[in-house]
Amino acid sequence: MIDHQLRRSLTRQCLLQELVDTPRSLSDVSEIGHRIPTCLVCVIIEQSLCLIFMFDIMHIYIIELQRVVMDVRETWATRLGFILAATGSAVGLGNIWRFPFLTGESGGAAFLVVYLALVLVVGLPVLLVEFVIGRRSKRNPIGAFDQLNHSQWKIAGAVGAIAGFIILSYYSVVGGWVIQYLLASFTGGYGTDAQAFFMSTASGPTTILFHAVFMALVAGIVALGVRNGLEKAATVMVPSVIILLVGMAIYGSTLSGAGEAYQYYLYPELSTLLTDAVSVLPAAAGQAFFTLSLGMGVMITYSSYLAEDRNLLRDSGLIVLIDTGIAILAGLVVFPFLFTQGVTPGEGGAGSIFISLAGAFNGLPAGTLIGGVFFFMLLLAALSSAFSIFEVVVSFTIDTFEITRVRASVLLGVIIFLIGIPTALDLTYLDTYDKFANNILLILGGLLLSLFIGWVYASDATHELRKGRAESWIGPVWINVVRYFVPPVLIITLGLAVIEYYDFIQSTFF
């Protein structure tokens, strides 16, 4: 028996070698297969061997082809991979779920103005800060500061990791809502009362179940190593999300509540803009950081794989543009539907996007089909963002406790699931976690990173930025913004956020 197996394996290896040495067509492959001695066992073995050869050869060809493609176009592949990964992380529930709901809660247009201003004058510079640290150190946020010989700034990485735990815990709960809406698209729709349907989705035992499913998917992506697939999915996901949102926004513009909605969303009251601006500052800054995945070190990790000749400013500009565009579009979809359904924007709360869209899909021909596609894309967007948060938390844990990647993923998956349970039972915890992690921790993380680059590492950082053929005036302008403008804005924002959070905790729990 052993002898037979050995002979079979040897024959197979020889033939395989012959095939590998001289590339052939599939007909050649089967011709060689036929040279196996038929008298020995039977035709079945011969045929199966043939099949196995073909798969082997195809596999070898595919791997070889991939290698050649990667070698020849390495820069292109890296650049695309980078843009996809970074956009995949940035575009997520933050744009489509969190932005419209926060805008609704914070009074509409004034919030939009402050948010846009912050994205441009704080978000973009801080994104560049993370890119410069990542590309310079070629390490994750924890190893980066050792590599740059400033280990004490590692604290910024730790702040980011804590934020990651908290954010992912409720992000996964909302991801679970998306899965429930996706399933509902195929099993009887979203009920007749969109608000009641949302309430039944948003908390309770089923919510916990789907929170677990989402978290298992995220941890599974790490365990199975299908990360590349997920990043490639961004090529389909981002354009699909844009097309669907544009379509829904156009449909929304024909509704009766559209005029009132645009008034609310797009025309700030000039007389109160300044006072409104101060009150919405913490929320708008938190949103700017959250949506661009800043303050946690995600962008440090992604840019650590980046080639030296990339123009960082151009790449970050592209990411900011796509991300902000999708958020603005989401608002253009949500508000017309909410106003038409008679739901005041603040009242929609965390359910705004679900309530407004479910109502809309209910009224459309083939609505559940469009809804199914929409929620599927939203799920992909949520997964690629959640994955990037999980990466930070996992690498932090591996570095700190020296455990294996798989073990860290399983352990952290369970811990984050447990931290998220209160949110899945009571929506009050969503605000409690969310305000703390975004308006305080992410801003603190961004502040530390900016202080480091602006005051400790300025000349190296400017040099790093210049590497990608960035225009020469960009470096000095950027470094001055990071040194003199970003820190005071973030310190004021942080102060306001802490006071606001204290009040929020007092009024909610005491």
CB of 94 to ligand PHE, least distance (A): 2
Identity of the residue, 92 or 367, whose beta carbon is nearer to ligand PHE in the bound complex: 92
CB of 434 to ligand PHE, least distance (A): 11
Q: Does residue 417 contact residue 214 with C-beta atoms inside 8 Å? A: no
CB of 16 to ligand PHE, least distance (A): 45
Give phi and psi for 272, each to the nearest 5: -105, 5
Q: Does residue 186 contact residue 367 with C-beta atoms inside 8 Å? A: no
CB of 294 to ligand PHE, least distance (A): 7
CB of 380 to ligand PHE, least distance (A): 12
Residue 79: burial class (beta carbons within 10 Å; 0-12, 13-18, 19+) = middle
Amino acid identity for residue 186 in this structure: F
CB of 173 to ligand PHE, least distance (A): 13
Q: Which residues bind ligand PHE (CB under 6 A)?
A: 89-90, 92-95, 167, 290-291, 293, 296, 298, 385, 388-389
Distance CA 337, CA 253 (A): 9
CB of 319 to ligand PHE, least distance (A): 10
Amino acid identity for residue 404 in this structure: T
Identity of the residue, 281 or 300, whose beta carbon is nearer to ligand PHE in the bound complex: 300
Largest CA distance in the chain: 95
Q: Shortest CA distance to 315 belongs to which of 305, 303, 325?
A: 303
3-state DSSP of 431-457: HHHHHHHHHHHHHHHHHHHHHHHHHHC
Identity of the residue, 89 or 137, whose beta carbon is nearer to ligand PHE in the bound complex: 89
Identity of the residue, 89 or 395, whose beta carbon is nearer to ligand PHE in the bound complex: 89
Identity of the residue, 262 or 290, whose beta carbon is nearer to ligand PHE in the bound complex: 290
Identity of the residue, 160 or 348, whose beta carbon is nearer to ligand PHE in the bound complex: 160
Own/partner contacts of 83-87, CB < 8 Å, gap of 24 or more, are: 83/315, 83/318, 83/319, 84/231, 84/232, 84/234, 84/235, 85/231, 85/234, 85/302, 85/388, 86/293, 86/299, 86/302, 86/303, 86/315, 86/319, 87/234, 87/238, 87/319, 87/322, 87/323
Q: Where do runs of H (alpha helix) occur along 124-204? A: 124-137, 141-147, 155-186, 194-202
Q: What's the distance, Cα to Cα, between the start and end of the chain in Å? A: 77
Q: Count of CB atoms within 10 A of residue 160's CB? A: 28
Q: Which two tokens stand for residue 356?
A: 């407004």
Identity of the residue, 297 or 349, whose beta carbon is nearer to ligand PHE in the bound complex: 297
CB of 378 to ligand PHE, least distance (A): 10
CB of 83 to ligand PHE, least distance (A): 15
Judged by DSSP in three states, 341 sits in: coil
DSSP letter, residue 41: S
Identity of the residue, 385 or 432, whose beta carbon is nearer to ligand PHE in the bound complex: 385
Identity of the residue, 141 or 336, whose beta carbon is nearer to ligand PHE in the bound complex: 141
CB of 256 to ligand PHE, least distance (A): 31
CB of 382 to ligand PHE, least distance (A): 7
Q: Residue 245 to residues 50, 251, 312, 375: CA-CA distances in angstroms? A: 50, 10, 28, 12
Angle (CA) 102-217-213 rounded to 5° is 75
Distance CA 57, CA 19 (A): 7
Q: Residue 74 to residues 66, 67, 70, 85, 230: CA-CA distances in angstroms? A: 11, 10, 5, 16, 20
Identity of the residue, 53 or 374, whose beta carbon is nearer to ligand PHE in the bound complex: 374
Identity of the residue, 197 or 302, whose beta carbon is nearer to ligand PHE in the bound complex: 302
Q: Does residue 137 contact residue 129 with C-beta atoms inside 8 Å? A: no
Q: Which residue of this chain has its Cβ atom nearest to ligand PHE in the complex?
A: 94
